[in-house]
Amino acid sequence: MTSKEYKELSVKEFTKAAEVYESDHAGVYNLCKKDYPDVLAELEKEPFTDLLDCGCGTAPMLTLLHEKYPDKHYTGIDLTPKMIEVAKSKKMKNVELVVGDCEHLPFAENSFDAVICCESFHHYPNPQDFFDSVYRVLKPGGRFILRDMTMNSAAVRWFCNTVEMPLAHLMGKGDVRIYGREDIRELCKNAGLHMESYEKRGFCRLHCVIRKPDAPVKCYNQITESYHQSRNIYDDVLTQSKWWSKLYIRIFWSGVDDVELARRVLRYIPADFSGKLLDVPVGTAVFTHEKYAALHNAEIIGLDYSRDMLAQAEKRLSGLPQVKLVQGDVGSLEFPDRSIDIVMSMNGFHAFPDKRSAFRETYRVLKRGGRFIGCYYVRGESRITDSLVANVLVRNGWFTPPFDTAPQLKRRLQKVYDVTHFHVEGSMVYFCAVKCQIAIK
């Protein structure tokens, strides 16, 4: 079944259920009522002011919360218009109710300090999109409380997912899948969220508390430390200049040659380029120094957060008056809007802790018609690489989640750029994208 078909089935199922959902004749949905006290108790462990209920249905949880804490601000979202219609008929103050898809939450980033999702998640065909979306709308430090169906035994879950679900579809139910602890942990890791606790409660309920890490300050410190520690091997790894680095790239990165990848990205810079180029992160300039030496008429700014990287770039680029090196954060660039002709980001976005700000800022400083070029890691292309990234590179601070898949990155770029080149090589993507001439809001 396609995502669209699953969602249509859910809407059909809950359109029928909406009128009776909170009554005593709700059939199987009566079981959901047992979850509300637990979610309430979990929420009450910490203060909150802005709460989002994902898949809120007729808003029984929001009703409970609203009665107890009428002054807080609540938002509920549900895919089924009839569920939202019933919820709205309660006319609760400070409660906004929206028809929408939880896989693409239509709210500004960092909007909520608490997100709950109760008995709705098993209806989502693209669970990672939902987790990524929750990450985006949660404030740093905010909590996500997930309550859903589960079974402890992987064999029983397999049975439910492969035998029971298709039968449920025949009976008009839009359920997609149930999950276990490791599935949820993986979804969190990919989204950049931290699974604080996971419990199986009662016969078949998962009760999970997930947190968006605090402002990336901690990440920045870790990045600084990691690049400090790896400063003496960084170039060897990337250029495969030692036997062990060749082996590493062959085993873990499908043999993708970073030097060749960098060469291809650098080809997007015209040989006679005479404008302003921002290279972020400049790193040690191991791939770029020869090209920069030939760009006599260009103005090149190499920016990096790590002073260790800059110190090495300084050695390679010191004789080039056209290059200026700056320490700074890609998430808050000190350049005016539309002041740069080419923004280049090689091997940067998989490390940047605040990718949204990085995308926003690189876009902001680029002139209309200017080029955004670069290469970086995307997940979903190789299990070995994904496992290395999650278990070693993220843990040690060289990479920071969340990571896009190649299609996600392409879509992200296409929203605001005209993507002229987009290639996937192993788990790396390299691209050239031109900022659209008209302003995009």
Ligand X SMILES: C[S@@+](CC[C@H](N)C(=O)[O-])C[C@H]1O[C@@H](n2cnc3c(N)ncnc32)[C@H](O)[C@@H]1O
Q: How far apart are CA 354 and CA 219, in angstroms?
A: 9
Instruction: Report, in Å, the least distance between residue 29 CB and ligand X.
Output: 6
Give 86 or 346: the residue with its C-beta nearer to ligand X. 86
* Closer by beta carbon to ligand X, 62 or else 340: 62
Strand partners, 376: 429
Tell me how far, at minimum, the Cβ of 50 lies from ligand X, in Å: 18
Cβ-based nearer residue to ligand X, 10 or 190 = 10
Q: Could you give the CA distance from residue 205 to residue 208 in angstroms, rounded to a whole number?
A: 10
Residue nearer to ligand X on the CB measure, 1 or 293 = 1
The CB-nearest residue to ligand X is 57
Nearer to ligand X, 99 or 326 (CB): 99
CB proximity list for 68: less than 8 A, separation 6 or greater: 40
Q: How far is the CB of 205 from ligand X (least distance, A)?
A: 11
Q: Tell how strand 194-201 and strand 205-211 pair up.
A: antiparallel
Alpha carbons 431 and 265: distance in angstroms, whole number = 7
CB of 26 vs ligand X, minimal distance in Å: 9
**114 backbone dihedrals φ, ψ, rounded to 5°:** -145, 135
Please identify, using beta-carbon distances, which residue of 11 and 249 lies nearer to ligand X: 11
Q: Smallest distance from the beta carbon of 269 to ligand X, in angstroms?
A: 43
Nearest distance from residue 146's CB to ligand X, in Å? Answer: 11
d(CA 299, CA 321): 9
Nearest Cα to 344, choosing from 362, 320, 368? 362
Pick 52 or 366: Cβ nearer ligand X: 52
Nearer to ligand X, 119 or 304 (CB): 119
Find the shortest distance in angstroms from Cβ 391 to ligand X. 30
Q: How far is the CB of 167 from ligand X (least distance, A)?
A: 18
- Whichever of 103 and 329 has its CB closer to ligand X, that residue is 103
By beta-carbon proximity to ligand X, the closer residue of 14 and 135 is 14
> What gap in Å lies between CA 99 and CA 121, rounded to an integer?
16
Q: CB of 190 within 8 A of CB of 401? A: yes
Please, which residues bridge with residue 289 across strands?
A: none
Which residues are near ligand X by CB under 6 A? Answer: 7, 10, 14, 29, 32, 55-57, 60-61, 77-80, 83, 101-103, 118-120, 123-124
